[in-house]
Structure 1
Amino acid sequence: MGRQPPRYQQIKQYLLENIRTGHFPADHQIPPEEQLAVTFGVSRMTANKAIRDLVQEGYLVRQSGIGTFVTDRRSESPLVEINNIADEVRRRGHGYANRVLSCEAISADDEIALRMGVRIGVTLFHSILIHLEDGLPIQLEDRYVNPRWVPGYLEADFSRQTPNEVLVAACPISDMEHVVEAVLADPQAADWLEVEPSLPCLSVRRRTWSGDHLISYAHLLHPGDRYKLRSMAHSAT
Protein backbone atom coordinates (compact mmCIF):
# COMPACT_ATOMS: atom_id res chain seq x y z
CA MET A 1 0.00 0.00 0.00
CA GLY A 2 1.47 3.36 -1.06
CA ARG A 3 2.34 5.99 1.48
CA GLN A 4 -0.15 8.83 1.85
CA PRO A 5 1.29 12.25 0.96
CA PRO A 6 1.66 14.77 3.82
CA ARG A 7 -1.63 16.31 4.88
CA TYR A 8 -0.70 19.77 3.66
CA GLN A 9 0.01 18.28 0.22
CA GLN A 10 -3.46 16.74 0.23
CA ILE A 11 -4.93 20.19 0.86
CA LYS A 12 -2.77 21.67 -1.92
CA GLN A 13 -3.91 19.01 -4.37
CA TYR A 14 -7.55 19.55 -3.40
CA LEU A 15 -7.27 23.30 -4.03
CA LEU A 16 -5.27 22.88 -7.26
CA GLU A 17 -7.76 20.38 -8.63
CA ASN A 18 -10.62 22.79 -7.99
CA ILE A 19 -8.67 25.66 -9.60
CA ARG A 20 -7.66 23.67 -12.68
CA THR A 21 -11.16 22.30 -13.28
CA GLY A 22 -12.67 25.77 -12.94
CA HIS A 23 -14.70 24.86 -9.85
CA PHE A 24 -12.72 27.65 -8.15
CA PRO A 25 -12.52 30.27 -10.95
CA ALA A 26 -10.44 33.46 -10.96
CA ASP A 27 -11.31 35.76 -8.03
CA HIS A 28 -13.13 32.92 -6.22
CA GLN A 29 -12.66 32.99 -2.44
CA ILE A 30 -11.37 29.63 -1.23
CA PRO A 31 -12.51 28.06 2.08
CA PRO A 32 -10.81 29.68 5.09
CA GLU A 33 -7.93 27.97 6.87
CA GLU A 34 -10.15 27.01 9.80
CA GLN A 35 -12.61 25.19 7.53
CA LEU A 36 -9.85 23.39 5.61
CA ALA A 37 -8.24 22.33 8.88
CA VAL A 38 -11.51 20.78 10.09
CA THR A 39 -12.28 19.14 6.72
CA PHE A 40 -8.86 17.47 6.51
CA GLY A 41 -8.44 16.85 10.23
CA VAL A 42 -5.25 18.89 10.54
CA SER A 43 -4.00 21.90 12.47
CA ARG A 44 -4.59 25.40 11.18
CA MET A 45 -0.81 25.71 10.75
CA THR A 46 -0.85 22.78 8.32
CA ALA A 47 -3.67 24.33 6.32
CA ASN A 48 -1.78 27.63 6.34
CA LYS A 49 1.30 25.96 4.84
CA ALA A 50 -0.74 24.58 1.93
CA ILE A 51 -2.22 28.01 1.22
CA ARG A 52 1.14 29.76 1.64
CA ASP A 53 2.72 27.41 -0.92
CA LEU A 54 -0.02 28.18 -3.46
CA VAL A 55 0.39 31.92 -2.88
CA GLN A 56 4.12 31.50 -3.49
CA GLU A 57 3.39 29.55 -6.68
CA GLY A 58 0.99 32.22 -7.95
CA TYR A 59 -2.34 30.38 -7.74
CA LEU A 60 -3.75 32.28 -4.76
CA VAL A 61 -3.53 35.79 -3.33
CA ARG A 62 -4.39 36.80 0.23
CA GLN A 63 -6.29 39.98 1.03
CA SER A 64 -5.77 41.02 4.63
CA GLY A 65 -8.95 40.91 6.69
CA ILE A 66 -11.00 39.51 3.78
CA GLY A 67 -9.73 36.09 2.72
CA THR A 68 -7.75 34.19 0.08
CA PHE A 69 -8.71 34.29 -3.59
CA VAL A 70 -7.80 32.51 -6.83
CA THR A 71 -5.54 34.69 -8.97
CA ASP A 72 -6.32 35.68 -12.55
CA ARG A 73 -3.30 34.36 -14.44
CA ARG A 74 -4.51 35.89 -17.73
CA SER A 75 -2.11 38.76 -17.05
CA GLU A 76 0.91 36.45 -17.45
CA SER A 77 3.40 37.61 -20.07
CA PRO A 78 6.67 36.17 -21.34
CA LEU A 79 9.80 38.12 -20.46
CA VAL A 80 10.27 39.26 -24.05
CA GLU A 81 7.21 41.51 -23.57
CA ILE A 82 8.54 43.13 -20.38
CA ASN A 83 11.17 45.71 -21.12
CA ASN A 84 13.71 47.24 -18.80
CA ILE A 85 12.74 50.86 -18.07
CA ALA A 86 16.30 52.06 -18.77
CA ASP A 87 16.16 50.54 -22.27
CA GLU A 88 12.71 52.04 -22.78
CA VAL A 89 13.98 55.55 -21.98
CA ARG A 90 17.07 55.16 -24.17
CA ARG A 91 14.99 53.95 -27.11
CA ARG A 92 13.21 57.29 -26.98
CA GLY A 93 16.59 58.94 -27.40
CA HIS A 94 16.63 60.29 -23.86
CA GLY A 95 19.06 60.01 -20.96
CA TYR A 96 18.36 57.46 -18.22
CA ALA A 97 19.47 57.65 -14.60
CA ASN A 98 18.15 56.60 -11.20
CA ARG A 99 18.43 57.58 -7.56
CA VAL A 100 18.56 54.86 -4.87
CA LEU A 101 16.60 56.05 -1.84
CA SER A 102 17.06 52.87 0.19
CA CYS A 103 18.25 49.30 -0.21
CA GLU A 104 18.19 47.03 2.84
CA ALA A 105 17.09 43.77 4.42
CA ILE A 106 13.79 44.03 6.32
CA SER A 107 11.41 41.75 8.22
CA ALA A 108 8.15 41.16 6.36
CA ASP A 109 5.13 42.80 8.01
CA ASP A 110 1.57 41.51 7.66
CA GLU A 111 0.86 43.17 4.30
CA ILE A 112 4.13 42.29 2.57
CA ALA A 113 4.08 38.72 3.94
CA LEU A 114 0.65 38.29 2.38
CA ARG A 115 1.75 39.69 -0.97
CA MET A 116 4.98 37.65 -1.07
CA GLY A 117 3.45 34.43 0.25
CA VAL A 118 5.87 34.15 3.18
CA ARG A 119 5.56 34.13 6.96
CA ILE A 120 5.45 37.35 8.94
CA GLY A 121 8.97 38.24 10.07
CA VAL A 122 10.77 36.49 7.20
CA THR A 123 13.75 38.48 5.90
CA LEU A 124 13.18 40.12 2.51
CA PHE A 125 15.22 42.59 0.50
CA HIS A 126 13.62 46.02 0.03
CA SER A 127 14.65 48.77 -2.35
CA ILE A 128 13.20 52.16 -3.26
CA LEU A 129 14.41 53.88 -6.43
CA ILE A 130 13.46 56.88 -8.52
CA HIS A 131 13.87 56.35 -12.29
CA LEU A 132 14.68 59.50 -14.26
CA GLU A 133 14.29 60.48 -17.91
CA ASP A 134 16.48 63.45 -18.86
CA GLY A 135 16.70 64.23 -15.15
CA LEU A 136 12.92 64.20 -14.59
CA PRO A 137 11.38 61.53 -12.32
CA ILE A 138 9.08 59.18 -14.25
CA GLN A 139 8.77 56.23 -11.88
CA LEU A 140 8.95 55.54 -8.15
CA GLU A 141 9.81 51.87 -7.69
CA ASP A 142 9.18 50.31 -4.27
CA ARG A 143 10.27 46.66 -4.50
CA TYR A 144 10.48 43.58 -2.28
CA VAL A 145 12.61 40.61 -3.32
CA ASN A 146 12.87 37.10 -1.89
CA PRO A 147 16.56 36.59 -0.95
CA ARG A 148 16.24 32.85 -1.54
CA TRP A 149 15.96 33.39 -5.29
CA VAL A 150 18.01 36.60 -5.71
CA PRO A 151 20.67 36.38 -2.98
CA GLY A 152 22.95 39.07 -4.44
CA TYR A 153 20.25 41.75 -4.78
CA LEU A 154 21.53 44.10 -2.04
CA GLU A 155 25.07 44.04 -3.46
CA ALA A 156 23.92 45.10 -6.94
CA ASP A 157 25.21 48.38 -8.37
CA PHE A 158 22.00 50.07 -9.49
CA SER A 159 23.99 52.78 -11.26
CA ARG A 160 24.95 50.02 -13.72
CA GLN A 161 21.94 47.66 -13.52
CA THR A 162 18.28 48.35 -12.84
CA PRO A 163 16.44 46.02 -10.43
CA ASN A 164 14.83 44.47 -13.52
CA GLU A 165 18.24 43.53 -14.90
CA VAL A 166 19.36 42.11 -11.55
CA LEU A 167 16.26 39.89 -11.34
CA VAL A 168 16.63 38.68 -14.92
CA ALA A 169 20.32 37.85 -14.35
CA ALA A 170 19.42 35.79 -11.25
CA CYS A 171 16.26 34.05 -12.50
CA PRO A 172 14.44 33.72 -15.82
CA ILE A 173 11.20 35.66 -15.39
CA SER A 174 8.30 33.50 -16.55
CA ASP A 175 5.07 35.08 -15.28
CA MET A 176 3.66 38.25 -13.82
CA GLU A 177 0.45 39.50 -12.29
CA HIS A 178 -0.37 43.18 -12.04
CA VAL A 179 -3.06 45.61 -10.94
CA VAL A 180 -3.20 49.06 -12.56
CA GLU A 181 -5.15 51.98 -11.11
CA ALA A 182 -5.27 55.76 -11.00
CA VAL A 183 -4.28 57.22 -7.62
CA LEU A 184 -3.09 60.39 -5.94
CA ALA A 185 0.45 60.22 -4.61
CA ASP A 186 0.92 60.53 -0.86
CA PRO A 187 3.01 63.54 0.25
CA GLN A 188 6.27 61.56 0.47
CA ALA A 189 5.83 59.96 -2.98
CA ALA A 190 4.84 63.33 -4.47
CA ASP A 191 8.01 64.88 -3.06
CA TRP A 192 10.19 62.09 -4.50
CA LEU A 193 8.47 62.35 -7.90
CA GLU A 194 8.63 66.17 -7.80
CA VAL A 195 4.91 66.60 -8.45
CA GLU A 196 2.01 68.25 -6.68
CA PRO A 197 0.07 65.86 -4.39
CA SER A 198 -3.09 66.68 -6.35
CA LEU A 199 -1.62 65.30 -9.61
CA PRO A 200 -3.15 61.95 -10.65
CA CYS A 201 -0.62 59.14 -10.91
CA LEU A 202 -0.67 55.71 -12.53
CA SER A 203 -0.02 52.91 -10.05
CA VAL A 204 1.07 49.38 -10.94
CA ARG A 205 1.30 46.66 -8.29
CA ARG A 206 3.17 43.77 -9.83
CA ARG A 207 4.22 40.31 -8.68
CA THR A 208 6.85 38.43 -10.66
CA TRP A 209 7.55 34.70 -10.84
CA SER A 210 10.37 32.49 -12.03
CA GLY A 211 8.69 29.16 -12.64
CA ASP A 212 6.79 28.34 -9.44
CA HIS A 213 8.80 30.79 -7.33
CA LEU A 214 7.38 34.20 -6.44
CA ILE A 215 10.54 36.28 -6.49
CA SER A 216 9.41 39.91 -6.36
CA TYR A 217 6.57 42.28 -5.52
CA ALA A 218 6.84 45.89 -6.69
CA HIS A 219 4.70 49.00 -6.46
CA LEU A 220 5.48 51.27 -9.41
CA LEU A 221 4.13 54.83 -9.33
CA HIS A 222 4.23 57.12 -12.38
CA PRO A 223 3.23 60.81 -12.68
CA GLY A 224 0.15 60.78 -14.91
CA ASP A 225 1.41 63.61 -17.11
CA ARG A 226 4.79 61.95 -17.77
CA TYR A 227 3.89 58.33 -18.46
CA LYS A 228 1.29 56.70 -20.67
CA LEU A 229 -0.61 53.51 -19.90
CA ARG A 230 0.42 52.12 -23.30
CA SER A 231 4.07 52.44 -22.30
CA MET A 232 3.48 51.14 -18.79
CA ALA A 233 2.53 47.72 -20.08
CA HIS A 234 6.21 47.41 -21.02
CA SER A 235 7.76 48.92 -17.90
CA ALA A 236 10.26 47.36 -15.52
CA THR A 237 9.13 44.14 -13.84
Structure 2
Amino acid sequence: MTTTDDILPRYVEIQRELEARIMSGAWPPGHRVPSEHELVELYGCSRMTVNKALSALANAGLILRRRRSGSFVASPKSQETVLEIHDIKAEILGTGKAYRFEILAREARRAGPEDAEHLGVAPDTQVLALTVRHFAAERPFVVEERLINLATVPAAKAEPFAAAPPGTWLLDRIAWTDAEHAIRAVSANAQTAARLDMARGGACLVVERRTWQAGEAITWVRLTYPGDRHRLVGRFNPGGLRPGAREGTKGA
Protein backbone atom coordinates (compact mmCIF):
# COMPACT_ATOMS: atom_id res chain seq x y z
CA MET A 1 0.00 0.00 0.00
CA THR A 2 1.38 3.44 -0.94
CA THR A 3 1.24 6.07 1.78
CA THR A 4 1.75 9.83 1.66
CA ASP A 5 5.23 9.31 3.11
CA ASP A 6 6.20 7.19 0.07
CA ILE A 7 5.42 9.99 -2.41
CA LEU A 8 8.49 12.15 -2.96
CA PRO A 9 8.33 15.77 -4.09
CA ARG A 10 8.92 16.01 -7.83
CA TYR A 11 12.14 17.97 -7.43
CA VAL A 12 13.56 15.22 -5.17
CA GLU A 13 12.79 12.59 -7.82
CA ILE A 14 14.64 14.67 -10.43
CA GLN A 15 17.50 15.34 -8.02
CA ARG A 16 17.93 11.62 -7.35
CA GLU A 17 17.87 10.71 -11.03
CA LEU A 18 20.55 13.29 -11.85
CA GLU A 19 22.57 12.28 -8.79
CA ALA A 20 22.49 8.65 -9.94
CA ARG A 21 24.01 9.63 -13.29
CA ILE A 22 26.79 11.51 -11.54
CA MET A 23 27.56 8.84 -8.96
CA SER A 24 27.54 6.06 -11.57
CA GLY A 25 30.16 7.87 -13.63
CA ALA A 26 27.80 8.28 -16.58
CA TRP A 27 28.33 12.00 -16.09
CA PRO A 28 32.05 12.44 -15.21
CA PRO A 29 33.62 15.56 -13.67
CA GLY A 30 33.34 18.46 -16.10
CA HIS A 31 30.28 17.03 -17.87
CA ARG A 32 27.78 19.73 -18.79
CA VAL A 33 24.44 19.16 -17.07
CA PRO A 34 21.41 19.76 -19.32
CA SER A 35 20.07 23.29 -19.07
CA GLU A 36 17.00 24.17 -17.02
CA HIS A 37 15.01 24.50 -20.23
CA GLU A 38 16.13 21.06 -21.40
CA LEU A 39 15.26 19.49 -18.05
CA VAL A 40 11.84 21.15 -18.04
CA GLU A 41 11.16 19.58 -21.43
CA LEU A 42 12.57 16.21 -20.36
CA TYR A 43 10.61 15.90 -17.10
CA GLY A 44 7.51 17.86 -18.06
CA CYS A 45 7.63 20.04 -14.96
CA SER A 46 8.02 23.69 -14.01
CA ARG A 47 11.29 25.59 -14.14
CA MET A 48 11.01 26.20 -10.38
CA THR A 49 10.97 22.44 -9.78
CA VAL A 50 14.08 21.94 -11.92
CA ASN A 51 15.83 24.85 -10.21
CA LYS A 52 15.18 23.30 -6.77
CA ALA A 53 16.65 19.99 -7.95
CA LEU A 54 19.79 21.66 -9.33
CA SER A 55 20.17 23.81 -6.22
CA ALA A 56 20.07 20.69 -4.06
CA LEU A 57 22.80 19.08 -6.17
CA ALA A 58 24.91 22.23 -5.96
CA ASN A 59 24.48 22.41 -2.17
CA ALA A 60 25.64 18.79 -1.98
CA GLY A 61 28.78 19.72 -3.91
CA LEU A 62 27.93 17.49 -6.87
CA ILE A 63 27.60 20.23 -9.50
CA LEU A 64 28.94 23.72 -10.11
CA ARG A 65 26.44 26.36 -11.25
CA ARG A 66 27.72 29.43 -13.09
CA ARG A 67 25.61 32.34 -14.24
CA ARG A 68 25.37 32.42 -18.06
CA SER A 69 27.48 29.26 -18.39
CA GLY A 70 25.23 26.55 -17.02
CA SER A 71 25.91 23.66 -14.66
CA PHE A 72 28.79 21.17 -14.65
CA VAL A 73 29.59 18.04 -12.68
CA ALA A 74 32.04 18.94 -9.93
CA SER A 75 35.33 17.18 -9.29
CA PRO A 76 35.52 15.00 -6.16
CA LYS A 77 36.80 16.84 -3.10
CA SER A 78 40.04 14.86 -3.18
CA GLN A 79 40.76 16.22 -6.65
CA GLU A 80 39.98 19.87 -5.93
CA THR A 81 42.73 22.44 -6.22
CA VAL A 82 44.44 23.29 -2.94
CA LEU A 83 44.15 27.02 -3.55
CA GLU A 84 40.77 28.62 -4.01
CA ILE A 85 40.36 30.76 -7.11
CA HIS A 86 39.59 34.06 -5.51
CA ASP A 87 38.39 37.37 -6.96
CA ILE A 88 41.04 40.08 -6.52
CA LYS A 89 38.46 42.87 -6.64
CA ALA A 90 36.31 41.21 -3.94
CA GLU A 91 39.40 40.42 -1.88
CA ILE A 92 40.52 44.05 -1.79
CA LEU A 93 37.05 45.45 -1.18
CA GLY A 94 36.67 42.93 1.64
CA THR A 95 39.54 44.64 3.50
CA GLY A 96 37.66 47.94 3.42
CA LYS A 97 40.15 49.54 1.03
CA ALA A 98 39.24 51.36 -2.15
CA TYR A 99 39.80 49.31 -5.30
CA ARG A 100 40.61 50.19 -8.86
CA PHE A 101 42.41 48.58 -11.78
CA GLU A 102 44.04 49.62 -15.00
CA ILE A 103 44.78 47.66 -18.15
CA LEU A 104 48.40 48.25 -19.07
CA ALA A 105 48.44 46.16 -22.26
CA ARG A 106 45.95 44.29 -24.42
CA GLU A 107 46.48 42.27 -27.60
CA ALA A 108 44.44 39.71 -29.52
CA ARG A 109 46.91 37.45 -31.35
CA ARG A 110 47.76 33.99 -32.52
CA ALA A 111 49.46 32.01 -29.77
CA GLY A 112 53.21 31.87 -30.12
CA PRO A 113 55.29 29.05 -28.63
CA GLU A 114 55.34 30.62 -25.15
CA ASP A 115 51.62 31.40 -25.19
CA ALA A 116 50.84 27.87 -26.34
CA GLU A 117 52.97 26.39 -23.56
CA HIS A 118 51.35 28.56 -20.88
CA LEU A 119 47.80 27.71 -21.97
CA GLY A 120 48.46 24.15 -23.12
CA VAL A 121 46.96 24.80 -26.55
CA ALA A 122 48.13 24.37 -30.13
CA PRO A 123 50.29 27.12 -31.64
CA ASP A 124 48.31 29.70 -33.62
CA THR A 125 45.27 29.32 -31.36
CA GLN A 126 43.62 32.74 -31.04
CA VAL A 127 44.29 34.25 -27.60
CA LEU A 128 43.76 37.53 -25.81
CA ALA A 129 46.78 38.74 -23.85
CA LEU A 130 46.24 41.22 -21.02
CA THR A 131 48.38 42.96 -18.43
CA VAL A 132 46.44 44.46 -15.54
CA ARG A 133 47.51 46.34 -12.43
CA HIS A 134 45.27 46.23 -9.36
CA PHE A 135 45.34 48.87 -6.62
CA ALA A 136 44.29 48.81 -2.96
CA ALA A 137 43.86 52.31 -1.52
CA GLU A 138 45.84 53.66 -4.49
CA ARG A 139 48.82 51.44 -3.71
CA PRO A 140 49.80 48.75 -6.26
CA PHE A 141 48.50 45.42 -4.97
CA VAL A 142 49.30 42.92 -7.73
CA VAL A 143 50.21 42.80 -11.42
CA GLU A 144 48.22 40.30 -13.48
CA GLU A 145 49.46 38.86 -16.78
CA ARG A 146 46.71 36.83 -18.41
CA LEU A 147 46.06 34.79 -21.55
CA ILE A 148 42.45 33.93 -22.45
CA ASN A 149 41.73 31.15 -24.93
CA LEU A 150 39.38 32.78 -27.45
CA ALA A 151 38.36 29.37 -28.78
CA THR A 152 36.74 28.72 -25.38
CA VAL A 153 35.78 32.31 -24.46
CA PRO A 154 35.17 34.14 -27.76
CA ALA A 155 33.22 36.94 -26.05
CA ALA A 156 36.42 38.12 -24.34
CA LYS A 157 37.78 39.53 -27.61
CA ALA A 158 35.20 42.33 -27.73
CA GLU A 159 34.81 42.80 -23.97
CA PRO A 160 36.18 46.21 -22.90
CA PHE A 161 36.63 45.17 -19.24
CA ALA A 162 35.42 48.63 -18.22
CA ALA A 163 33.13 47.60 -15.35
CA ALA A 164 35.13 44.66 -13.99
CA PRO A 165 38.68 43.29 -14.35
CA PRO A 166 39.25 40.19 -16.51
CA GLY A 167 39.43 37.75 -13.58
CA THR A 168 36.12 38.92 -12.12
CA TRP A 169 34.51 38.89 -15.56
CA LEU A 170 35.63 35.29 -16.19
CA LEU A 171 34.48 34.03 -12.79
CA ASP A 172 31.03 35.52 -13.41
CA ARG A 173 30.61 33.97 -16.85
CA ILE A 174 32.68 30.83 -17.31
CA ALA A 175 32.44 27.66 -15.22
CA TRP A 176 35.85 26.12 -14.60
CA THR A 177 36.07 22.42 -13.80
CA ASP A 178 39.82 21.96 -13.18
CA ALA A 179 42.64 24.22 -12.05
CA GLU A 180 46.39 24.04 -11.52
CA HIS A 181 48.50 26.34 -9.34
CA ALA A 182 52.24 26.92 -9.11
CA ILE A 183 53.82 29.24 -6.52
CA ARG A 184 57.34 30.60 -6.51
CA ALA A 185 59.46 33.51 -5.37
CA VAL A 186 61.31 35.79 -7.80
CA SER A 187 63.31 39.00 -7.64
CA ALA A 188 61.65 42.06 -9.14
CA ASN A 189 63.18 43.27 -12.39
CA ALA A 190 63.08 46.97 -13.27
CA GLN A 191 59.67 46.81 -14.96
CA THR A 192 58.03 44.81 -12.16
CA ALA A 193 59.55 47.06 -9.49
CA ALA A 194 58.16 50.16 -11.21
CA ARG A 195 54.71 48.62 -11.60
CA LEU A 196 54.51 47.51 -7.97
CA ASP A 197 56.21 50.57 -6.44
CA MET A 198 58.97 48.52 -4.84
CA ALA A 199 62.75 48.27 -4.94
CA ARG A 200 64.39 46.55 -7.89
CA GLY A 201 65.61 43.11 -6.79
CA GLY A 202 63.02 42.92 -4.02
CA ALA A 203 61.25 39.63 -3.37
CA CYS A 204 57.98 38.94 -5.19
CA LEU A 205 55.41 36.21 -4.59
CA VAL A 206 54.30 34.77 -7.93
CA VAL A 207 51.21 32.59 -8.38
CA GLU A 208 50.65 31.00 -11.80
CA ARG A 209 47.36 29.33 -12.55
CA ARG A 210 45.67 27.52 -15.43
CA THR A 211 41.98 26.67 -15.56
CA TRP A 212 40.01 24.34 -17.82
CA GLN A 213 36.37 23.66 -18.65
CA ALA A 214 35.81 19.98 -19.38
CA GLY A 215 39.35 19.64 -20.76
CA GLU A 216 39.35 22.88 -22.78
CA ALA A 217 41.79 25.57 -21.62
CA ILE A 218 40.10 28.75 -20.40
CA THR A 219 42.90 30.95 -19.13
CA TRP A 220 46.47 31.15 -17.84
CA VAL A 221 47.38 33.89 -15.40
CA ARG A 222 50.51 35.01 -13.59
CA LEU A 223 49.92 37.12 -10.48
CA THR A 224 52.96 38.97 -9.12
CA TYR A 225 52.68 40.38 -5.59
CA PRO A 226 55.21 42.46 -3.61
CA GLY A 227 56.67 39.83 -1.31
CA ASP A 228 57.03 42.08 1.72
CA ARG A 229 53.36 43.07 1.60
CA HIS A 230 51.72 39.66 1.07
CA ARG A 231 51.53 36.19 2.55
CA LEU A 232 49.54 33.03 1.81
CA VAL A 233 47.05 32.06 4.50
CA GLY A 234 44.95 28.91 4.80
CA ARG A 235 43.72 26.47 7.45
CA PHE A 236 43.73 22.77 6.64
CA ASN A 237 42.60 19.44 7.95
CA PRO A 238 43.53 16.01 6.49
CA GLY A 239 40.61 16.30 4.06
CA GLY A 240 41.60 19.72 2.74
CA LEU A 241 40.50 23.21 3.65
CA ARG A 242 38.52 23.59 6.85
CA PRO A 243 34.85 24.40 6.32
CA GLY A 244 34.54 28.13 5.78
CA ALA A 245 38.30 28.57 5.31
CA ARG A 246 39.88 29.82 2.11
CA GLU A 247 43.27 30.23 0.58
CA GLY A 248 44.45 33.55 -0.70
CA THR A 249 46.97 36.36 -0.42
CA LYS A 250 46.78 38.75 2.47
CA GLY A 251 48.02 42.30 1.99
CA ALA A 252 50.08 43.92 4.68
Structure 1 residue aligned with 2:86? 83
User: In 2, distance between residues paired with 1:198 and 1:83?
Assistant: 28
User: In 1, distance between residues paired with 2:80 and 2:216?
Assistant: 14
* 8 Å contact kept, 2:182–2:209: yes
Higher-strand-fraction structure = 2
State the Cα distance separating 1:75 from its structure 2 match.
7.4
Q: What's the CA shift string for 1:70-109, capped at 9, x where partnerless?
A: xxxx774399x42211111111111111111012202212
What SS does the corresponding residue of 2:132 show, helix, strand or coil? strand
* 8 Å contact kept, 1:75–1:178: no
User: In 1, distance between residues paired with 2:79 and 2:101?
Assistant: 28
* 8 Å contact kept, 2:101–2:133: yes
* 8 Å contact kept, 2:150–2:157: no
State the Cα distance separating 1:163 from its structure 2 match.
1.3
* 8 Å contact kept, 1:84–1:162: no
Structure 2: unaligned runs, 5 residues or longer? 1-77, 235-245
State the Cα distance separating 1:228 from its structure 2 match.
1.5
Higher relative contact order (CA 8 A, sep 6+): 1
What SS does the corresponding residue of 1:153 show, helix, strand or coil? helix
* Structure 1 residue corresponding to 2:99, chosen from 96, 100, 107: 96
Question: 1:57-206 alignment to 2 at 5 Å?
Answer: 76-77=80-81, 81-206=84-209
Identity %: 30
After superposition, the CA RMSD in angstroms is 2.4
TM-score (structure 2 length as normaliser): 0.59
Task: Check 1:122–1:128 CA distance in 2 against 1; reply closer, same or farther (3 A cut).
Answer: same
Moved >6 Å (runs of 4+): none
* 8 Å contact kept, 2:104–2:132: yes
Task: Check 1:102–1:199 CA distance in 2 against 1; reply closer, same or farther (3 A cut).
Answer: same
What SS does the corresponding residue of 1:229 show, helix, strand or coil? strand
What SS does the corresponding residue of 2:168 show, helix, strand or coil? helix
State the Cα distance separating 1:125 from its structure 2 match.
0.6
Task: Check 1:223–1:156 CA distance in 2 against 1; reply closer, same or farther (3 A cut).
Answer: same
TM-score (structure 1 length as normaliser): 0.62
* 8 Å contact kept, 2:153–2:218: yes
Structure 2 residue aligned with 1:226? 229
Structure 1: unaligned runs, 5 residues or longer? 1-73
Please tell me the residue identity of whatever aligns with 2:164.
Q
User: In 1, distance between residues paired with 2:160 and 2:131?
Assistant: 14
